[in-house]
Amino acid sequence: MSCELVVVVDKFGKPIGTEEKLEAHRLGLKHLAFSVLIYRYNAGQLEFLLQKRAINKYHSGGLWSNTCCSHPRPDEDIVLASKRRLVEELGVTASLKLNDIGTISYCAKFSNGLTENELDHVVIAESNKVDLDLNPDEAEQCEWWPLSDIEQTMKAEPQTFSAWFRLVLEKTTHHLNN
């Protein structure tokens, strides 16, 4: 199995080195990441393509989250990394117009001792239809959720979603409304 590296950044977001992915999460090192969120308008209602993470993921298994997410490889462009992970996680090969709309920063500690401390690029794309071929090691399900259903579930059952999803959704809806 090959060693997956993440790009470690300083408090200003400047790359300062690399670390093996799981070790970076064990140590809680701040590192680069990206979260892709595909959206569409269906009968005038905003919908998002959400992924239910595979139960065996190293953290947040079985939770709903953005369409896909991961870490860019050293010297890998964020949009190209996003395209790569859409294929690897969901089998999405369609040519989507991906747009990096900026970053969010968050730190979440998990019960298994891992910490996500990420400078996370939010990457969005509009698409009315996406053909999927889910990688079962990555995703259990992928479904379109109306924004109103997401908001209602977040209020009633916030534990249904990954720790970072609320921030990704807020960044995306703010961008789409301005």
Asked whether residue 121 is marked as a ligand-binding residue, the answer is: no
Annotate the chain with DSSP letters as a single string: -PPPEEEEE-TTS-EEEEEEHHHHHHHT--EEEEEEEEEEEETTEEEEEEEEE-TTSSSSTT-EESSEEE-PPTT--HHHHHHHHHHHHH---S----EEEEEEEEEEE-TTS-EEEEEEEEEEEE-S-------TTTEEEEEEEEHHHHHHHHHH-GGGB-TTHHHHHHHHHHHHH-
Asked whether residue 71 is marked as a ligand-binding residue, the answer is: yes
Among the options 3, 68, 107, 118, which is catalytic? 118
Asked whether residue 116 is marked as a ligand-binding residue, the answer is: yes
Asked whether residue 118 is marked as a ligand-binding residue, the answer is: yes
69 is catalytic: yes
Asked whether residue 59 is marked as a ligand-binding residue, the answer is: no
118 is catalytic: yes
Among the options 69, 107, 126, 157, which is catalytic? 69
Asked whether residue 126 is marked as a ligand-binding residue, the answer is: no
List the binding residues for Mn(2+).
25, 31, 71, 116, 118
List the binding residues for Mg(2+).
89
Active site residues: 69, 118
List the binding residues.
25, 31, 71, 89, 116, 118
